[in-house]
Structure formats: C-alpha cells, structure tokens
Structure 1
Amino acid sequence: MGLSQARLNEGIDHVAAQEPKVAAALDRVGYPEPRIRETGYKTLLRTIVGQQVSVAAATSMWNKLEAELGEDFTPACLLGRDFDTLRACGLSRQKQGYARSLCELVTAGAVDFDALPADDEEAIAELTQIKGIGRWSAEIYLLFAEGRGDMWPAGDLAVQEGLRRILDLSERPSEKETRALAEGWSPHRGAMAIFTWHAYANPAL
C-alpha cells in the first residue's frame, strides 16, 4: 500500500525540521491526505486508460471496461476481447496496444507486481518495459501503490511548481534542478512529493 498518514506526516516533519521554508509552508497549508492505490496491474492499466484525457473521460472509459469485463477482470479477459469491443469502451488503437502489452507481460510472468526489485531504479526499469509506461507512471505506481518512500517524480510539472511555491523560488525549477534541490531530503522524498502536490493545489501559497 502507499504511504500511510503517519508515514506521510513523519517524512514531512523530518524535512521541515531541516528546511525552515518547508516548515513555514506546512504551517500555512497543513498535511496532505495520503494517496494510496492498490498494487497490481490494474493500477497501471488505469494509468494507461487515463492518459491524455480528462478525469471524467477516463472514469467513463474505466466504467465501460469494467461493465464489459467485470470488476475483477484478469489480464486474460482483456486479451480475449477484440478491437471493436475495446474501442466501444473508449480505448483508442494506441491505448489498446499499451493495454495488451501490459496484460501480455503479466500473463507471461515477465512482470510480477508481487516481486518487483527492491532497488527503486531497477523497479522503474522493469515497469518501463511496458509500452505506454514511462518513468513518471512508474514512479507514481511505486509511490502510491507500494509506498516506496523515496520516490521523487522530478519531471512532474505540479511537483516543480509546488516546490517553487514552498521554497519561494523566482521561477519553476527544471527537472534537473528539482532533483538537485531534493537530494538532501532522502529517504523522505516520497512524502515531500505528495506535499508539493498539496502545496500546488492550495491557494494559501
């Protein structure tokens, strides 16, 4: 599971104790709520379904997919449906390709969500072999589903902007700068990533 409220608060408190600007931001916006997803292929499949569409459209597609396949559908269920059936659920040709790649890898045992490498970079490398899953999607999965506490999706624009607000920077940092700024926060960067999203969405900053 993802980071619990206790682990989230503990991580943010640890960084706030060494970063006065983080402490000041915490006083203004408070602690974020946990972001927890279930482990397994469905969380990544839902990420694929939601790519480049609105939240409402993604929810609609997912509901149609579950109506067609059943709420507890297996990878084999999806692989057994033809193009037109999945297209009727809203999945484009590209998304179907990504979804089939994921389900084929899971069925073949090439990706085992119960036994991903303990090393974060190795786990990211294994997940990004799936078509349609880039580094950001892998990092989000490992943070939200597995609760890996040092995930830091530095390429996320909201993380960058949230960091700018928290640290009162003159401009949004680049991905490279975002990684460098958080180096000293390890092993609590996952909690801080969730805090930056919280700060980004909070008008108090």
Structure 2
Amino acid sequence: MNEPILTDQPTFERALEALVDLDPRLVPLVAEAGRPTLRRRAPGFSGLAAIVVAQQLSVAAARSITARLEARLGGTIAADALLAASDDDLRAAGLSAPKIRTLRGIAGALAAGTVDLSHVDAMEADAAGAYLTRLPGIGLWSADIYLLFCLGRGDAFPVGDLALKVAAGEALGLPGRCSDLGLFAIAEDWRPLRGVAAHLLWAYYGARRARLGAPA
C-alpha cells in the first residue's frame, strides 16, 4: 500500500477503514471516539506560521493570535508581508519575541532557498520531516504536523506528541504513556497510515478526557 494523500473526509474515511483492517486493536478506539474529522491547514508559509504560533499554546489562544496576525498582514500570513512588518505590529498580534525571530528566520530561509517546499511532496514522510527541520525553529514535531495537516501526508506521524503517547498507552493497555521510542516502534505496524492513526489517537484522547471529565 502506498502512502495516501488525505485530500478530503471521504478519502480519510477509506484510509481509516484500511487502518483498522491492518490493526484490529484500533477498532475499540473508533467505537469510543467515533470517526475523526480530517484536520487540514493551508500549505506553504502560512501553514508553517500557524504551526509555529500554536507551539505551547492552547488551541483557542493559537487561533486568536493567528486571526490577529492575518488581519495585521492584510488577510493572509505571507512571508514577504511578515518580513516587511515591524516587530511592534507582530507583538500587537500576540507574538512573543522568540516566535517573531522564528517566523522571520523561516521566511528568510524560504526566500534564500535553504528549503524548497515544492520538493517535499516527492519525499518519503520521514525524509520530508527531516528536510523541513532545516528551517529555523522547526523540529520534528512541527515538521510532521506540517506534513500531516498542510499536505495531507497520510504516513506523517509526530511521534513526540504528548497526547499521542498518552492515548497509545491507554488504548493498548500499557502501564503508562509511551516513550518516543516506544510509540515509534508501535507505529511501525501502521505504515503507511500512521497519520490516520494519529488522527484516531487524538480523537480517542479527547473522547476519554471528556468522558472522565478531565481537561484535554
């Protein structure tokens, strides 16, 4: 099976069916969480910028800052507009000084050709993730989130994601949350649908916390 490109919800649904056929241990997760909604964001600099904004923030806070940043930059987060904006404007949108430096660094690196985002589509998921980490402030988690949400790469898997590690530990009856290496090893069984499994694990994590009355 080749890695699917998750272009829309019906494509995701078919990939989910293939995933649970591949690993029947995931059937109870679908029963508890339902069928997850495919998450997609715009590709390119605007998608990368939204991911940087969201680092270490709640979903609500990240959305608010992203909306204010878009308004400050004329409706979309474009690299040239961000480079032309003053630090005062970017701070007024809610960006911290480190995130301003990171976003300016990414915009500059893309302009200089340090990374060419058009090359990423042809790369295998793990190689594409490693390539994206050439960008300032983009680690493996951010790279995999970009591949999954912005490009719909069905095998991208942010192995360091805390919610995924907790959900996998709970779903598979482990004594605690998975380590990065443990989750990576488990996810090998899900290739080339690891990104579909990530969506399911996130949905399962949220459903369990809602049922238990715990914060997500």
TM-score (norm 2): 0.85
> Which of 142, 145, 155 lines up with 1:140 in the alignment?
145
Alignment length (residue pairs) = 205
Q: Any idea what the Cα deviations from partners look like across 1:97-156, whole Å, max 9, x if unmatched?
A: 101011112222333323325222332122111221110010011011111111122211
Q: Secondary structure at the match of 1:201?
A: helix
The equivalent of 1:124 in structure 2 is 129
Give 1:46-85 correspondences, 5 Å limit. Answer: 46-85=50-89
SS of 1:115's partner is helix
RMSD between superposed Cα atoms in Å: 2.1
Conserved? CA contact 2:90–2:100, under 8 Å:
yes
User: Does residue 199 of structure 2 align to residue 194 of structure 1?
Assistant: yes
In the alignment, which of 5, 11, 16 is matched to residue 7 of structure 1?
A: 11
Q: Which runs of 5+ in 2 are unaligned?
A: none
Deviation >6 Å, runs of 4+: none
- 1:99-118 to structure 2, matched below 5 A, reads 99-116=103-120, 117-118=122-123
Q: Would the aligned equivalents of 2:20 and 2:27 in 1 still touch at CA under 8 Å? A: yes
Q: Which runs of 5+ in 1 are unaligned?
A: none
How far has the Cα of 1:3 moved from its partner? 4.7
CA drift at 1:182 = 1.8
Indicate conservation of the 8 Å contact 2:69/2:77, yes or no.
no
TM-score, normalised to structure 1, is 0.89
Q: Distance in 2 between matches of 1:135 and 1:48?
A: 12
Q: Match for 1:110: what amino acid? A: T
Structure (1/2) with the larger helix percentage: 2
* Sequence identity (%): 37
Of the structure 1 ranges 143-152 and 15-24, higher mean CA displacement relative to structure 2 is found in 15-24
Give, in whole Å, the separation in 1 of the partners of 2:182 and 2:102. 31
